[in-house]
Structure 1
Amino acid sequence: MKTRIHKLQDIHKQIELLNITHQREAWRALMAEQTIIPDLNQIKILHYSNSTMQSQNLQRTESKEERKWKCTPRKKTLIGNVEKILCLDSSEEDNKVGLIDWSCNGLISFGNQNGISICNRDGIELGMCKEKNAKVVKWSNDGSKLAICTSLRIILYDLEKEKSIWNISSKCLRALPHSNHCICWSFDDRYIVIGCEEAISVYETDTGKLIESIWTIRYMDCISSLNFSPNYKYLVSTDGEQNFGIFTWPDIKFCYYIELSDKIRAVAWHPQMSNTLCIGSGRSLMLWNVNKKTIIDHKSVKSYDFRVENLVWNKLSGELVVHWTYREGNKRYSIVPVLASFDRIVDALPLKHQTHISFLKFNGTHEELITCDNEVFSIWNFFGEKSQYGRQVPLYNSTRQKQGVLNRNPIR
C-alpha cells in the first residue's frame, strides 16, 4: 500500500506560537466579515478562452480538504494550569498504564502493592480490591463495576457491594512476565471482552460464563489492545508490534489486518465518524477508513526522536489530543498538543519539561482530562475554567437506562 507521507511542522514551534496564530486567525476572520480587504477570504481561479479571460471566486474554507474529520476547534488557547493534583501510591511496575483507569463517575482505580485502590477526584479512598497480581483494570461504561485481569484469572469487582462478585480462571491467560492483557466492555455492559496472547474471549457480566473465544494466532501473534468503534459495530485490535486487525461485533468475525512499517502504540476512534480510526505508529499519525480500507490522511513529525504514545478524541469538540514523547540525551519527555487537523495545533497541555506521562483519558463529560506522572495524577479543564459546553452531566447514570453513546454533541 503506497501513500504520500506529509511532514508535520515542528510541534514545539507551533505550540510556542499558538497565541500569535489564534490572534492572526481572529483578525483575518474579522476583516473578512467586515470586507475590509476585498477578496481576502477568496481564491481566484482563472479560466482562459480565445476571446476573454474570466475569474470565478470560490469561498475559502478550512473544512473538507484541510480538516479530514468532523471538528469544531477552539479559537483561542483554553487549557490553563492544572486544576487539581493528587499524589497517590500507584504501582511501580513497568505496565502501570494498564493498572490505571478513570470511570465515567470520576473515580480513579490504580494498582499498588496492596491491590487495586479506588479513589474519588479528591484522592479519598472509597474501596480496595485486594488483588496483588493484577495486570490490567477497566471500568464498566456505567462506572459501577471494575474488571480485573491477573496472570491467570479474571475478577469482576462491584463498587456498590464493595466486593468481587465472581472470580474465574481463564485458559487463554498466561502467567508470563511480559504477557499482554486487555479489557473492553460491550455497549450495554452485558459482556466483558478480554484480549490476551492468542485469543479474544467474551464473558457474560452477570455470571462470568465464557460465551465465545476466538483464537487469533493465524491472524495476529497476540492481542495487546482492544477498542470498540462508537457504534459498536467494529472491534480494532493491535498486537503490540506493527499489526492492527478489524473484527465485527457481536459475532467477532475477523475482517482483515494491516501491517504497518512502525510499531503501533495507540489507536482512537472518532466519536461521531464510526468508520474513522486514528492510528499512532512510530512518529506518524494515520487516519484510516475502516469500511473502505483506505488511508484518509498520513502525517509524520519531522524529528525521528518523536514517538506517539497515546491518542484520545474529545466527544464534544472533535479535537484530537496526541501524547508524543521525544528524546533529549538519554531521557524521554512528554508533549501533549490538541489538534484540529493533522496540520493544525490549537492548544496544548502546559507540561513541565521533565514530565513523563503514563496515562491520559477524558472524564465522562469530556470536559476534564486526567494525566498520570508516576504517582502524581493531574486533572485539567480541557475547555478552560468556564466550559463553553455548560454544566457537566455524566454520560452514564445508573438511575436511568444505560446509553453507551453521547447524548449531546455540538460537533458539526
Structure 2
Amino acid sequence: MFGSINSKKYFDRFIPRRINTEIDIMRSSDAAGLLNSPDVQSDVGFINYAKVRYHHGNFQKLLRNTLLPLEAKVLNFFPPKKISFNGVSTQWNETWPVKLRRKPVIGPPEMILDMPQFDSHLCHHVADWSSQNCLATIFENEVHMWYPDTDCRRATTNTGQGVQHCVKWAPDGSKFAVGLFPNRIGIWCIVKNKQIHENHCCLHFCEIFCLEWLDNKTLVAGCSRGILSIYTSELNLLKRVCCFPKCSIINITVSCDKSFLATSNINKTVIVWKISDMERVFTIKSKSIIRALAWHPWKSSLLACGCTDEASARVTIWNINTQNQVAREKTCYKNSSIGALTFNPISGELVVSYFVRDNHAGIGIITVLSNIDTVVEELHIHDAPILYLLWGSGGRQLASISADENLCIWNFFGNPSIEIKQTQDNSRRSNLLYPCIRITPTRLEWI
C-alpha cells in the first residue's frame, strides 16, 4: 500500500525530458558560407539568390524536423488577420494587396537579346512592350519591332528625319506614339504600317522626352521645356499645363482607374495630377532625380517611387488620397540607385531594379517584393544599370533592359521546361531585335 502511494506520487510529479528545440541547426556564419560556396559563386551567368535562401531555409526546416521531431507547443492567442480585397487574400499589415506566389519560381531568362548602341540617357524612353506582345525599341532613329511568339521583325522607314528619344504603345497595341526630330510627335499605325498623324510640340526648340496613353484615344506628352500636353489620338491638342518652367519632364505614369497622373522632372520633384481637370493634387520632393514611378495595378491610390537617400536607394509608397507616405523600404542596398520599378499586373508584387556600385564596377540586381521589406526573388545577371522593366504576355513575362546592351526575357511565374536560347559560341548575346551590321575587331559580321 505504501509503495502504491509513492508510485502514484511519482507519476503525478513526473516531467518528461524535453529536447532543446531552440538549438540553431545552422548558424548564420554557416548560412553565409553556403551562399558564398564555390557552387553558388561559380560563373553561371545567373543566380536567383532568393531561391538559394529559400532552399536553404527548407533544408534547415527539414533537418530540424528530422533531428528534433518534437514540436514546440506554442499557443497563438492572436493569429494574423486576413482580409479580402476584391477577392484577393492578403495579410492585414501589408502595404499593398498582393496575390502571393508560394515560392521563388523565376529561373534563368528564357531569352537574351543583343541591344547594340542602347540609348541609356536618363530622359529617354526608347523601349516598350505592347499588349499584343510586340517589343519595340528605337535603333538608328527608327522603331524596330519584334514579336517573340512568331519571331516576326519589322521596322519603321518613313518617319521623315527620324524617331527621337521615346516610343509608347497604345493600350490596344494597334498603334504607338513616338517623338520625332526635331520637335514633333507622331502616331504610327501597325495595321497600315505607316505614320498616320503628326504635330509639333509646344516650342520650336523643345524635344519630346516621355509619352503616356490615358486610353486609346488620349495621349499625354512631356517635353524638355517642362510642358505637359494632352492630345487626341489624331494629335489634336486638348490642353497644355506647365509643370516647372524650363525643367525637363522625364517620366509620366497613369493610375489604373485613370484618375491620377504622376510626372517627375529634372528638378527632383514628383507631381500628382487629377486627370479630370489637370489640377495638382500634391507634390513629392526628393534629394535626387526620380525616374522610377509605378502605380499599383488595382489599388489606384498607391504610388511607388524609387528615391536615393544618403547614397543608397529606397522604395517609398505614397497614398494619394491621404497624401502621406505609408511605407519606406528598410532593407535597401548600400551605394545603390534605382533604375526602374513596376508592379506585376497579375500578382501585384513590386519589381525593382537596383544598380549596386563597388569601387569602379557595379552589378544590376532585380528584386521582387511581396511587401515593403520582403524580398521573394533576387535576380543577378546584368552588370550595368537596368533602366527598363516591361511586361509581356499579360504580365507573365518580364523584360529587363540594361546599359550592358542586353535584353533579358524572364518567365515571371516560372517554367522550368524552357531552356535559355543562346548562340553557337555560348555567349550571353543571342539575337538582335532587328538585323543590322555590327563591326567587330576581327571581322564584319551580320547578326
Give the structure-2-normalised TM-score: 0.71
Structure showing greater Rg = 2
1:277 touches 1:287 (CA, 8 Å); kept in 2?
A: yes
1:92–1:253 CA distance, 2 compared to 1 (3 A): closer
State the match for 1:58 in structure 2: 78
1:277 touches 1:290 (CA, 8 Å); kept in 2?
A: yes
Amino acid at match of 1:39: V
Q: Is 1:250 equivalent to 2:305 in the alignment?
A: no
Amino acid at match of 2:78: L
State the match for 1:15 in structure 2: 50
Distance 1:26 1:174 in 2: 64
Corresponding residue to 1:289 among 298, 319, 322 = 319
1:91 touches 1:110 (CA, 8 Å); kept in 2?
A: no
1:194–1:60 CA distance, 2 compared to 1 (3 A): same
Q: How many residues align?
A: 352
Q: Structure 2: where are the runs of 5+ without partners?
A: 1-31, 37-48, 83-89, 418-447
State the match for 2:409 in structure 1: 379
Q: Is 1:351 equivalent to 2:378 in the alignment?
A: no
State the match for 1:403 in structure 2: none
Distance 2:93 2:57 in 1: 17
Q: What are the Cα deviations for residues 361-390 of structure 1, in whole angstroms up to 9, with x where unaligned? A: 111410000122344322110000179xxx
1:275–1:114 CA distance, 2 compared to 1 (3 A): closer
Q: Is 1:208 equivalent to 2:253 in the alignment?
A: no
1:59 match: secondary structure: coil
State the match for 2:424 in structure 1: none
- 1:294 positional shift: 0.7
Distance 1:133 1:298 in 2: 38
Distance 2:122 2:158 in 1: 18
Distance 2:317 2:396 in 1: 24
Correspondence 1:154-233 to 2 at 5 A: 154-172=185-203, 174-175=205-206, 181-187=209-215, 189-196=216-223, 197-205=225-233, 207-217=234-244, 221-233=247-259
Give the structure-1-normalised TM-score: 0.77
Q: Which shifted more, 332-341 or 65-74?
A: 65-74
Q: Is 1:337 equivalent to 2:367 in the alignment?
A: yes
Distance 1:285 1:127 in 2: 37
Distance 2:157 2:193 in 1: 8
2:377 match: secondary structure: strand
2:125 match: secondary structure: helix
- 1:174 positional shift: 3.5
Amino acid at match of 2:306: G
Distance 1:129 1:235 in 2: 33
Aligned-residue identity in percent: 22
Distance 2:242 2:121 in 1: 27
Q: What are the Cα deviations for residues 223-261 of structure 1, in whole angstroms up to 9, with x where unaligned? A: 221111100000011113421111111321222212123
Distance 1:106 1:90 in 2: 23
1:358 match: secondary structure: strand
Correspondence 1:50-89 to 2 at 5 A: 57-60=77-80, 64=91, 66-89=93-116
Q: What are the Cα deviations for residues 44-94 of structure 1, in whole angstroms up to 9, with x where unaligned? A: xxxxxxxxxxxxx11146955642110122222100111122335554563
Distance 2:120 2:107 in 1: 31
Distance 1:18 1:304 in 2: 20
State the match for 2:12 in structure 1: none
Distance 1:320 1:338 in 2: 6
- 1:289 positional shift: 0.3
Distance 2:229 2:220 in 1: 6
Q: Which shifted more, 150-159 or 247-256?
A: 247-256
Q: Structure 1: where are the runs of 5+ without partners?
A: 1-9, 43-56, 388-412
1:361–1:93 CA distance, 2 compared to 1 (3 A): closer
1:138 touches 1:147 (CA, 8 Å); kept in 2?
A: yes
- 1:159 positional shift: 0.6
1:222 touches 1:239 (CA, 8 Å); kept in 2?
A: yes
